[in-house]
Amino acid sequence: MAKAHRIRWAPVAFRDLDEIIDYIAAQDGTDAAVKAYLKLRKRAGALATHPARCRIVPELRSVGVTEYRELIVSPYRVLFRIVEAEVRIVGVLDGRRDLEETLVRRAMR
């Protein structure tokens, strides 16, 4: 049996999720927003077992940063790190946007 990891969401990841859900609600309605929320939370929760099965974030790997992985929940990317017995979710980003630009914008806040 696989070792269960604790899932921990960073505050910024919760803000990402809130922004995504608010946007979906405004564009497609509450039902679509609830469906997207449940899907993202369920898939992220599944990281409790076998989180290392997810790929290292390619844009970060190309610059030598290998501790961040991602789970694709199309069109979103759930970025996380595995730290001992925890999966630390650090962001939920729109996969249609440029990751480098998003990270630079965050660093400048």
3-state secondary structure of 23: helix
Tell me the pLDDT band of 15, cut-offs 50, 70 and 90. very high
Structure confidence by residue, pLDDT tens digits, 1-10 = 567 999 999 9
Closest of 63, 64, 60, 62 to residue 79, by C-alpha? 60
pLDDT over 90 for what percent of the chain?
76
- Please, are residues 92 and 102 in contact by the beta-carbon 8 Å criterion? no
Q: Assess whether pLDDT exceeds 90 at residue 43.
A: yes
The residues pairing with 9 across neighbouring beta strands, listed in sequence order, are 89
Structure confidence by residue, pLDDT tens digits, 63-96 = 898 999 999 999 999 999 999 999 999 999 988 8
Which is more confident, 48 or 98?
48
Res 104: pLDDT: 54
Mean pLDDT, range 95-109, rounded to an integer: 66
Res 105: pLDDT: 66
Dihedral sign, CA of 50, 56, 57, 58?
Answer: negative
List, in order of start, the domains of the chain with CATH numbers: 6-107 (3.30.2310.20)
